[in-house]
Structure 1
């Protein structure tokens, strides 16, 4: 039985022998199975769902992605269920790395590595490598030092003499001086957090290159204490211009120290475990891409919360929060993202659309658009949903809903011809023409 298991969303895990292990079915140890059941109970208490029990020997994962390491050392890597062709494991891991980097709001260059071999390592090793590379770059720029006030007893004068303490010196110790002075040391909140994260990486990494670089960097920080209060030190992390070169390493430090993602799993064992709700990763990535493609004068707001479904007395009940709200002048667009596969050839099955989602958008349209305007449901593009649906869904003569695919490879929202929206994106026809032009140039 492999100690490192790679599966994807909604995969089934069992303690029994699996004849043909795949991304959708795999075997894990009994201790890891029991630990996952316990972990699922903790998730359930917070309102989240990690997995479902199927009998006594099978677990079915939900739509969380990331990596889990059980106390027994069993590593379970969960990838997005998006690619079906070619090397699914490599392409899915590459997509997940891009979405995580986007959620951490990192520059685009951080997600475009020169070598695809990077994505052949586990997700945890990729996160640790990003942290180590950012920390190495920080050391080359120089660490920030700070003045630390020291009060001590010495045989010589240095700094200021503490007159009151000196006057209380007992007989026979008048030759010792009670002094106060400042020392210029790297002992500050940001550096203590980096030391704590680095120590965790040194213990957790199994990659030879990561191990070498981690211990090399640890040697530069051996005299620095690690953080005793991670939450307090993060509150003291400064983001002024003098600390600008610390910004690239901060998201990775937060991620490793279990502070960035709300469903990160912190354990007392040596492994790094982290989970991400896939719908949140997809939503944040779409928002980031569209924000960079807005036309002049347009603004995008995520999770707008200015409206509620109804009012009871003087209280507003059932707050409505569309994923994306685009405003330009007096016009508005309501967009909602859904991490779900649609089937553009399945007319009888309503393409896989959910009636509950339409009720939700109907409420958004009346509360945010006053019943007049355009809305859209955005789903990931894949081979059976690679074009916008032919017709829009009509709630009324003045309120319409588009169902659109978002291409996670090109980061483009595909739109039917003729819609004048304040977003600089390519239509499906334009993308096909561009792909054909590239193909002609290559051939």
Structure 2
């Protein structure tokens, strides 16, 4: 656990929260949204980057050091310095959409499609009424899962215990009996099983509640967690969550524990899409927006086109031919491939791009990638209708179609067809937009 309970109380007293967007910068000694950014804040963030850079993944992918400050990259979520600065990083579309509350709601909706933290019991109605920072929304989602457990009942199981008793209970441990009771013959050092609620699953939930009680600044979240902790009075806090997670055993009748334990793992082990080690920050829960966007669109696409096969991250084909094992390094992996049950129907490939297009349009690299998909899938005798570069809505560049011409058998035909299309993520008609995306072949 990254914070001891005493440390969290100290952090809790220092409620300094700022909201930025992807790629925004903050500097030491600046006053940002009425909050003074100290040199210590910036130094802790830079120390965090240095520590993480020694791991297999580079923290500079998520947060980049700049002169006298740091810059956010394409990761969204929340992090907190030990000096008490909480930085909420929103999706960059917040620059074009002034309502931060709606941007938070959109982000949580998108995040729910990522299997690792599917907040299935946290309804959209709750999201619209809780005007909270992202961290408080995460905490509220965990509270909702714990509430579901309490309504269905805490898991009880046989717990193996060792104790020095005044009567023989269970199995006598001879070595401990000699060590502890060589003089006092009236006691028995025994090992026995008791049916209790103090199992690993409940210990992890209580530990997470206790931890978050010191992290949260929201009065409602704090009140609910205090109320929930009453039900865990006979459960111990674990100071070795890694070991406790290894002991977790969820059988079918206790499947309702699964989601709360996923959240506990996120908070206690920092297991989001990225897992950071080091001691310079209190915590960091950061999520890559390109993957979140891709998962969200794929999820909505499956709902919008239930009669079609919507495959994600397909790996059927290669960029090059031949039997050379090295070709496996160049496997094609489009984000979304849409097929009909009928092989004769044309295929549509969609690659999601989490970018706000400027007036100069898509990058050469993105267009080259789409052209490779079109030509290689056609090479493998797939009947391709088009490939689509799909972006969040932008007013700086119009939707367009790129075509190449194919002259064969003395006939001029359309070769590759690459469309640049948008989705309005804030629209209530997103599934209709995706239906039209496929229908307009």
State the TM bucket, normalised to the shorter chain. 0.7 to 0.9
- Give the one of 206, 227, 231 matched to 2:217: 206
- Give the one of 292, 300, 308 matched to 1:289: 300
Shift of residue 355 of structure 1?
0.8
- Of 221-230 and 61-70, deviating more is 221-230
| Contact 2:15–2:84 (Cα < 8 Å) also in 1 | no
- Give the one of 421, 429, 432 matched to 1:404: 421
Shift of residue 225 of structure 1?
2.6
1:302-341 equivalences under 5 Å are 302-310=312-320, 313-315=324-326, 316-329=328-341, 330=343, 332-341=347-356
Cα distance change, pair 180–307 in 1 and its aligned pair in 2 (3 A):
same
| Contact 2:315–2:333 (Cα < 8 Å) also in 1 | yes
Q: Say how many residue pairs are matched.
A: 406
| Contact 1:395–1:401 (Cα < 8 Å) also in 2 | no
Cα distance in 1 for residues equivalent to 2:204 and 2:347: 43
Alignment deviations for residues 25-51 of structure 1 (CA, whole Å, 9 cap, x no partner): 996211111222233344555245234
- Give the one of 348, 353, 357 matched to 2:362: 353
- Give the one of 2, 19, 31 matched to 1:6: 19
Structure 2 residue runs without a partner (length 5+): 1-13, 407-413
* Alignment-derived partner of residue 267 in structure 2: 256
2:404 is the counterpart of 1:391 = no
Cα distance in 1 for residues equivalent to 2:15 and 2:239: 36
- Of 73-82 and 84-93, deviating more is 84-93
Structure with the bigger percentage of helix:
2
SS of the aligned residue for 2:78 comes to: strand
Shift of residue 178 of structure 1?
6.3
* Alignment-derived partner of residue 299 in structure 1: 309
* Alignment-derived partner of residue 438 in structure 1: none
Cα distance change, pair 137–163 in 1 and its aligned pair in 2 (3 A):
closer
| Contact 1:14–1:26 (Cα < 8 Å) also in 2 | no
Cα distance in 2 for residues equivalent to 1:220 and 1:165: 37
| Contact 1:67–1:77 (Cα < 8 Å) also in 2 | yes
Shift of residue 79 of structure 1?
1.0
Alignment deviations for residues 45-86 of structure 1 (CA, whole Å, 9 cap, x no partner): 5245234455x3343322221112112112221111214566
| Contact 1:81–1:92 (Cα < 8 Å) also in 2 | no
Shift of residue 357 of structure 1?
0.9
Alignment deviations for residues 200-252 of structure 1 (CA, whole Å, 9 cap, x no partner): 10121112122222222223324323345434543554454212221342332
Shift of residue 150 of structure 1?
3.6
Cα distance change, pair 400–189 in 1 and its aligned pair in 2 (3 A):
farther
Cα distance in 1 for residues equivalent to 2:199 and 2:435: 54
2:384 is the counterpart of 1:377 = no
SS of the aligned residue for 1:257 comes to: helix
Cα distance in 2 for residues equivalent to 1:26 and 1:156: 62
Alignment deviations for residues 77-135 of structure 1 (CA, whole Å, 9 cap, x no partner): 111121456643222222222222332463666251346341x3221112112212221
Alignment deviations for residues 395-418 of structure 1 (CA, whole Å, 9 cap, x no partner): 753542222212322333636969
Moved beyond 6 Å, runs of 4+? 163-174
1:140-289 equivalences under 5 Å are 140-152=151-163, 154-158=165-169, 160=170, 181-265=192-276, 268=279, 271-289=282-300
Cα distance in 1 for residues equivalent to 2:272 and 2:291: 10
Cα distance in 2 for residues equivalent to 1:2 and 1:236: 35
Structure 1 residue runs without a partner (length 5+): 422-426, 428-443
Cα distance change, pair 105–398 in 1 and its aligned pair in 2 (3 A):
farther
SS of the aligned residue for 1:253 comes to: helix
* Alignment-derived partner of residue 414 in structure 1: 433
| Contact 1:264–1:276 (Cα < 8 Å) also in 2 | no
C-alpha RMSD of matched pairs (Å): 3.7
Cα distance change, pair 81–167 in 1 and its aligned pair in 2 (3 A):
closer
Cα distance change, pair 280–415 in 1 and its aligned pair in 2 (3 A):
closer
Cα distance in 2 for residues equivalent to 1:172 and 1:115: 64
Alignment deviations for residues 370-419 of structure 1 (CA, whole Å, 9 cap, x no partner): 3641321111124556x8x2435447535422222123223336369695
Alignment deviations for residues 239-287 of structure 1 (CA, whole Å, 9 cap, x no partner): 5421222134233223222444232546658944311111121111112
Shift of residue 339 of structure 1?
0.5
Cα distance change, pair 219–305 in 1 and its aligned pair in 2 (3 A):
same
Cα distance in 2 for residues equivalent to 1:123 and 1:418: 31
| Contact 1:43–1:49 (Cα < 8 Å) also in 2 | no
SS of the aligned residue for 1:113 comes to: helix
